[in-house]
């Protein structure tokens, strides 16, 4: 049985998460097919795929265009398989931002017309070495407003790996716990 893990990444955290999910799937006895939607050069066959994990980061209120295009163009084939969509972002790391993070996920699903079996929010990371002056200021004064986090302190990861593993294992086992998060 094969699990397709399709992702887009901007700063590398979502790719790190996708590779983690691939290892979890393999440990659960699945074959894992990992694809980066930014690097796709041809059609992806879903013939042997029984489950799908789709994940992408939120930047500037949206998921990457390549990811949304992949989901929209493969919507019918994807909806024939059990699916989990993970939206990765900093807003998901803080209680005060979870509602907004959920809105970004719901808006992406509306734009693509995709209806997954389960969804979950996953906390991302701050990687200030990738940001210019204006991006750091927006991060500090908008995204992290009210948080005791200073981007000048360097990279900080907020991904809860234990929670993510639980979500993925539950999805692969079919318990549906991810829909509750």
pLDDT digits (tens, 9 = 90+) for 54-102: 999 998 889 999 999 999 999 999 999 999 999 999 889 888 889 999 9
pTM, rounded to two decimals: 0.87
Tens of pLDDT, residues 146-162: 667 766 676 788 899 99
- Is residue 8 pLDDT above 70, yes or no? yes
Tens of pLDDT, residues 39-54: 976 678 899 999 999 9
pLDDT at 141: 63
Q: Which helix (H) or strand (E) holds 5?
A: strand 2-7
pLDDT at 179: 40
Binned at pLDDT 50, 70 and 90, residue 178 comes out as very low
């Amino acid at each position: 049985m094969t699990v397709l893990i399709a992702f887009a990444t901007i700063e590398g955290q979502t790719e790190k998460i996708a590779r983690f999910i691939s290892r979890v799937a393999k440990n659960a006895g699945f074959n894992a097919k990992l694809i980066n939607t930014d690097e796709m050069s041809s059609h992806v066959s879903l013939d042997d795929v029984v489950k799908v994990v789709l994940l992408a980061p939120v930047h500037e209120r949206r998921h990457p265009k390549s990811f949304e295009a992949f989901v929209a163009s493969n919507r019918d084939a994807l909806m024939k398989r059990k699916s989990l969509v993970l939206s990765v972002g900093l807003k998901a790391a803080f209680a005060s931002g979870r509602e907004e993070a959920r809105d970004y996920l719901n808006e992406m699903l509306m734009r693509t017309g995709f209806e997954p079996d389960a969804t979950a929010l996953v906390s991302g990371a701050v990687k200030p070495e990738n940001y210019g002056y204006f991006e750091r200021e927006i991060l500090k004064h908008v995204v992290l407003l009210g948080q005791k986090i200073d981007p000048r302190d360097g990279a900080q990861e907020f991904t809860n790996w234990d929670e993510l593993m639980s979500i993925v294992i539950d999805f692969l086992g079919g318990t549906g716990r991810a829909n509750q998060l």
